[in-house]
Amino acid sequence: MILYRGKLAENSMQDRLIDSLKTDLYTPLCIKEPLPAEIVIDACDRLAKRVTDGEFDFIIKPFLKAYNIEYSRFREMTGLFSRESLEYKCRIELCDDESVIGGRVVRKRYPLGVLLHIAAGNVDVLPAYSVIEGLLSGNVNILKLPMGDSGLSVRILHELVLTEPELADYIYVFDVPSTETETLKKMADLCDAVVVWGGDAAVKAARVLADVDTKIIAWGHKLSFAYAECDADDKQLRALARSVCETNQLLCSSCQGIFVNTGSRDEQEKFAERFFRILLEENRRAVPIDYGMKAKNAINIYNERLEKNITGHKVLCKDGVSIIICDDSNLQLSYLYRSLWIKRLPIDDLFTLKHYKNHLQTAAVIANDPSDRKQICDILAKAGVVRITSAGAMSETISGAAHDGTYALREYSRIVETDIFDD
């Protein structure tokens, strides 16, 4: 299903509706005042209350079960749509008050205009949330659904329009495959910015679609990790293991592996064996991994074992979870679904992570001594990490938190300065 000016339509109508976009997109920007954030906040808050009251449980609970998402985590995510959360976000990210500079110039924030959101599919609520950020900053929004979308994003945005019909002119949702580049380019040509969620390939594809006068705003995919002292206590390691099991490492903020502050292979292996025991315990308490993903990882781990004489890797594996002990210090994606790497990286070499520049996102610091934590945090921040947390907080959803080191609502805005004309 697609969504066009507040109405659901079949995919078969998509091409005809896209041809009508140019006229319909610019109407609210031209004849209306910028969309007030309060209208968006009120609609989101009312819809969030209906969700938390269980009105949509008949849709949500089967979806959560299919994607191995705990209900408590979904409720936490729903909190991002509450009035309190969104008002706080706007206070942090926007400054809407007009100001006079130099005694003769009025400075005012305006939306960019039209945003094309090319969403990723690793978090099912994310496409809808991306559109809501566009609405909060006053923009008209086109959403390209990710491949294999469950339909939840369309349902959320449709319900939002039913809650507040004034939003109908500001939301368009299409199910255009990424292979239909001509159609995507047609949409991108109508937009002031393309908001792309995804890895390097997705960002490069967006740059090809967009003309030079169209802004590219890229979010993720980033890589996150933990940095641990060898003597870190079990409580911190357990919190990290729990986070790994809850997210299955699918988020940009999820831990892909652990760098250990040591140059000793023996200390590295002892740390890995200790963490592996804790990970097994947390795995038994968590929602089971999808059978297909468990089978895929079994093949990956089997290949790791076959190649261990070449790679030097040591593999710990049981009950579908695994640890790969490596000799290199490269930052890389793990096999996901409760499979981590553990590597040596002495603190004197920690700044070498700067090599990964804009791929760095969240780092959990696991150390017993406060002075050690402070030193590690300082080096990580200088190296380019944009979020530093305790062991269990890597993937917590926090209202007002930045996206990859910057604020989305500011990225979706522009500043207009107008002379005060003498009459």
Contacts of residue 156, Cβ cutoff 8 Å, sequence gap at least 6: 47, 125, 128
Buried b (16+ CB within 10 A) or exposed e, 244-264: bbbbbbbbbbbbbbbbbbbee
| Single-letter amino acid code for the residue at 238 | R
pLDDT of res. 147:
79
Residue 292: the pLDDT is 81
What's the CA angle centered on 33, arms 50 and 112, to 5 degrees?
85
List the one residue out of 192, 194, 142 whose CA is nearest residue 172. 142
- pLDDT for the residue numbered 152: 82
Cα separation, 172 vs 13, in Å, equals 13
Q: Could you tell me which of 367, 361, 317 has the C-alpha nearest to residue 340? A: 317
CA atoms of 209 and 192, how far apart (whole Å) = 13
What single DSSP character describes residue 121? S
Domain spanning 2-220+404-419, CATH class = alpha beta
Buried b / exposed e over 55-94, threshold 16 CB at 10 Å, is ebeeebeebbeebbbeeeebeebbebbbeebbbebbeebb
Beta bridge partners of 226: 258, 364
Helix axes 152-163, 37-52, angle to 10 degrees: 120
Q: Within a 13 Å sphere around the CA of 67, how many CA atoms are in the beta-carbon half?
A: 21
Q: Across-strand partners of 388?
A: 363
- Nearest CA among 24, 51, 15, 392 for reference residue 240: 392
pLDDT in tens, the chain (423 residues): 899 999 999 988 998 999 889 888 888 888 888 899 999 999 999 999 999 888 888 888 887 777 667 777 788 788 889 999 999 999 999 876 678 877 788 888 999 999 999 988 666 678 899 999 999 999 999 999 987 676 788 999 999 999 999 999 999 999 998 889 999 999 999 999 999 998 888 888 899 888 889 999 998 778 999 999 999 999 999 999 999 999 999 888 999 999 999 999 999 999 999 999 999 999 999 988 888 888 888 899 989 888 888 888 999 999 999 999 999 999 999 999 999 999 999 999 999 999 998 899 999 999 999 999 999 999 999 999 999 999 999 998 887 888 889 999 999 999 999 988 766
- In CATH terms, the superfamily for domain 223-389 is Aldehyde Dehydrogenase; Chain A, domain 2 (3.40.309.10)
| The pLDDT of residue 30 | 83
* pTM listed for this prediction: 0.89
What is the structure's pLDDT at 80? Answer: 86
Which tokens hold the place of 391? Answer: 């062991």
The residues spanned by each domain of the chain are 2-220+404-419, 223-389
Reading phi first (left if > 0) and then psi (alpha if -120 to 50, else beta), residue 176 is in beta
What is the reported pLDDT for 122?
A: 60
- Those residues whose C-beta lies under 8 Å from the C-beta of residue 132, and which sit 6 or more positions away, are 40, 44, 81, 160
Q: Do domains 2-220+404-419 and 223-389 have the same CATH topology?
A: no
Supply the pLDDT for residue 97. 67
